[in-house]
Chains A and B, each alone.
Chain A
Amino acid sequence: MCTTCGCGIGQTRINGQSMQSRHHSNTRLHYRPSQSAHDHAHKKVAAPVTVEHAADTLHFGTGIAGTHAPGMSQSRMIKIERDILTKNNQSAAGNRRYLAEHGIFALNLVSSPGSGKTTLLVKTIEMLRDRLPIAVIEGDQQTDHDAARIRATGVPALQINTGKGCHLDAHMIGQALQQMPIPDNSVLFIENVGNLVCPSGFDLGEAHKVVILSATEGEDKPLKYPDMFHAADLMLLNKCDLLPYLTFDIDLVIDYAHHVHPRLPVMQISATQGRGMQAWIDWIRAGCHRAAATGQSLQHIDSTLG
């Protein structure tokens, strides 16, 4: 986070490059005579953490109180009535429109760290890559290890490092989509930051959130972290090959998930051993067919109108 103005953009990086600012308006505001316009510089902090945003930065550093003349203004009430996530949701709607027009089926994979998301993704790619074009966006606080694992399969992967951020948001994905050429009618996997709390509230423009829970975790996670299970459209129970060695009660975890989200479809899989993977692959392919059909009809409408 920028320690001067508090903006959180400074540490987000896409494939190692700083991301464009979104926090500050392009319009430069002067709420008081011009000396207030900018009274501090954004110094470069240690290596990977800098964003120069002098030109498009709103700064109110010295505050209005310094020159506030009595009688100049009076307190008034302003109705806002806007959802806090409005900006994110607008970006998400833009992403969703872009993905729909290109027939891209996007999945937002969410889970705790260590549930096996990346291994699942690698196995999924191995099973799908001869049938569908695939692209991956990886989200982690630090390192590009996961993107490297994906690239080793031959599939393009873009790494977003969120710095101190705990989730991906729609603006980051919008930037990533601009930088990443994704063929029409692809499947796009977005591997969110391993975190069962924060990513639940942030729509990225995906077709579905898929929550992954592994058999080495507690059965009561759906009750402990209900928002994520409420937001997801599919739950994958991973590491099911380990069930004989664990005391994990599979009926109980499904029951708990259904308390939070009745009718949430659940697939029992083992990414390392292949069990249940075919059902997951079929589910993805069905989604891709739907997305491609939507993309074609949108393109048809465009060409008819255009």
Chain B
Amino acid sequence: MHELSLAESILQLIEDAAIEQKFTQVKTVWLEVGQLACVEQESLRFFFTVVTEDSIARQAKLEIIDIAGQAMCDQCHQVIMIATYHQVCTQCGSYALHITQGDGMRIKELEVE
């Protein structure tokens, strides 16, 4: 359900950008979503459609760019790709990983007119 809040945050950032950059319609939104981010993409798409109805981003296309999860092992310092928080280091088997990429969500670009 928090995808509704996330969709509202996206619209808010778009409206802020509209004031700063003086555009009147958004055609496409490129969103980077990390594989480890706590977000359900289909739900986010649904709520994006709901919250942008009657807004400057009405009917804007939402393009989601998947960002792979990446972590560094605290034991052997190997950088590995991970899909979940409870993965082990593929080199030494340790769970002591710290995330270096793929736990965030951000708006990358907008196509506007």
Contacts and interface: CB of A to CB of B under 8 A. Distances in A.
Contacts of B96: 262-263
Interface in A58-116: 58-61, 63-65, 68, 73-88
Contacts of B19: 25, 27, 29
Contact of A87 (B12, B27, B84): B12
Given A23-B8, A76-B23, 17 more contacts: A25-B19, A31-B56, A32-B24, A60-B55, A68-B25, A75-B112, A77-B110, A78-B21, A78-B112, A79-B108, A80-B106, A80-B109, A84-B6, A223-B86, A259-B85, A259-B86, A259-B95
Contact of A167 (B2, B74, B111): B2
Contacts, number: 152
A7 B25 contact: no
28 contacts: A1-B4, A6-B53, A7-B8, A8-B8, A25-B16, A25-B19, A29-B15, A31-B18, A31-B24, A58-B55, A59-B54, A60-B58, A63-B58, A64-B24, A78-B109, A80-B110, A81-B107, A84-B13, A86-B9, A87-B13, A88-B9, A164-B1, A166-B1, A197-B2, A200-B38, A258-B95, A260-B85, A263-B96
Contacts of A27: 19
A contact residues, range: 35 or more
Nearest to B27: A75
Contacts of A74: 113
B13 A82 contact: yes
Given A25-B15, A29-B19, A260-B85, A83 B104 contact: yes
B17 interface: yes
B86 A78 contact: no
A278 interface: no
B2 A201 contact: yes
A75 B4 contact: no
A80 B108 contact: yes
